[in-house]
Amino acid sequence: MARAFASAGPPREVPLPGVAVHRLGGPGTGLDLIAAGVGPALAAASTATALTAAALAGAPYGLVVCVGIAGGFAPAAAELPGRPGSPGSPHRPRLPGAPVGSLVLADEITAADLGAETADGFLPVTDLGFGTVTHRPPESLVRAAASATGAATGTVLTVSTVTGTAARAAALRARHPRALAEAMEGFGVAEAAAAHSVPVLELRAVSNPVGPRDRAAWRIGDALAALTEGFGKLAPVLESWNAHEPPESAEPAQSAEPAEPADS
Ligand SMILES: O=C(O)c1cccc(C(=O)CC[C@H]2O[C@@H](n3cnc4c(=O)[nH]cnc43)[C@H](O)[C@@H]2O)c1
């Protein structure tokens, strides 16, 4: 993503335990970039380290943005239990999808495999009486960012295991009909941001379809190009966004300085 900010000059590296912060722009004007790692746990740890260091230095972040590539769900006919009609029936609502090369902005960042498997199906951790499974980025920011980038908005799932079968894709879609994409870091990044009462945004470019494993179908180069272009359009929105919308059930953020923990 640093390429989306080429005009900011070369980044300055600030080493922290376990993660390096790449600082673009001067103090108070800039954007910090981290490669947060693959998977929700490492992404949460890296993001929390950067957030804590900034808070202890008296310059807390105003926003955390998680960007990377993702698998996109194909459009599908919704399963409506107990309702007649074939999958292609006009009476069944269509579930939206996200094609390879497209951009997705999360209006919900949901941990899809955090919970318990039971004989009656999957139970999210919230049904077990603790934790959270969904973080919601500020609505006004999602609207402005989607309009600037042309990204589709919907749920982005966070998984620890990349989906590799049609059955798993269908099961996720049945549990999360608003899901457009799955990736592996958003929920971890969002948990770290929430612990610091900082709002979060997740932007993904689709590199592959969610479904049967097919490495030949990956278009990582195209997705990274789309992500770079999309982030370039997002930058002015981040700079002008005023964190007037408090993060979910938390105090308003103290600083408007944007940060961008990246995961790839
Ligand atoms: O080996 C495979 O079959 C496989 C399939 C898709 C992705 C991977 C990765 O190792 C990607 C890790 C990286 O990319 C994000 N990502 C991209 N596509 C997906 C996906 O379909 N499901 C979950 N994550 C995806 C992820 O956020 C990681 O950062 C391997």
What's the ipTM?
0.96
Q: How far is the CA of 255 from the centre of ligand 1 (A)?
A: 33
**Residue 32, in any domain of the structure:** no
Pocket of ligand 1 (CB under 6 A): 38, 68-71, 159, 162-164, 182-185, 207-208, 210, 213, 263-264
CATH of the domain at 132: 3.40.50.1580
**Residue 6, in any domain of the structure:** no
Q: How far is the CA of 158 from the centre of ligand 1 (A)?
A: 11
**Residue 85, in any domain of the structure:** no
**Residue 86, in any domain of the structure:** no
For the segment 198-235, what is each residue's pLDDT rounded down to a tens digit? 999 999 999 999 999 999 999 999 999 999 999 999 99
Angle 177-209-153 from CA coordinates, rounded to 5° = 45
CA 130 to each of CA 38, 126, 133, 160, 214: distance values in angstroms, whole numbers, following the listed order: 25, 5, 10, 19, 36
CA 110 to each of CA 135, 142, 211: distance values in angstroms, whole numbers, following the listed order: 7, 16, 19
**Residue 171, in any domain of the structure:** yes
* DSSP label of 245: S
**Residue 87, in any domain of the structure:** no
Ligand 1 atom nearest the C-alpha of 184 is 27
Identify the sign of the CA torsion 42, 44, 45, 47: positive
Containing H/E element for 94? strand 94-95
% the chain with pLDDT above 70? 82
Q: Are 169 and 210 in contact (CB under 8 A)?
A: yes
Contacts of 41 (CB under 8 A, 6+ apart): 188
Higher pLDDT, 123 or 252: 123
**Residue 111, in any domain of the structure:** yes
Counting the structural domains of the chain, the total is: 1
Distance CA 154, CA 56 (A): 34
**Does position 257 have pLDDT exceeding 50, yes or no?**
no
Pocket of ligand 1, candidates 38, 66, 69: which has the most ligand atoms within 8 Å of its Cβ, to mutate?
A: 69
For the segment 158-194, what is each residue's pLDDT rounded down to a tens digit? 999 999 999 999 999 999 999 999 999 999 999 999 9
Q: Are 187 and 66 in contact (CB under 8 A)?
A: no
Residue 9 has what pLDDT?
75
Within a 10 A sphere around the Cβ of 119, how many other Cβ atoms? 4
- Residue 166 belongs to domain spanning: 62-77+92-249
Pocket of ligand 1, candidates 184, 203, 207, 224: which has the most ligand atoms within 8 Å of its Cβ, to mutate?
A: 184
**Residue 234, in any domain of the structure:** yes
Pocket of ligand 1, candidates 162, 203, 219, 263: which has the most ligand atoms within 8 Å of its Cβ, to mutate?
A: 162
| Burial class of residue 27, CB neighbours in 10 A (0-12, 13-18, 19+) | exposed
| Burial class of residue 232, CB neighbours in 10 A (0-12, 13-18, 19+) | middle
Ligand 1 atom nearest the C-alpha of 185 is 27
Q: How far is the CA of 104 from the centre of ligand 1 (A)?
A: 15
The residue contributing the CA closest to ligand 1 atom 3 is 213
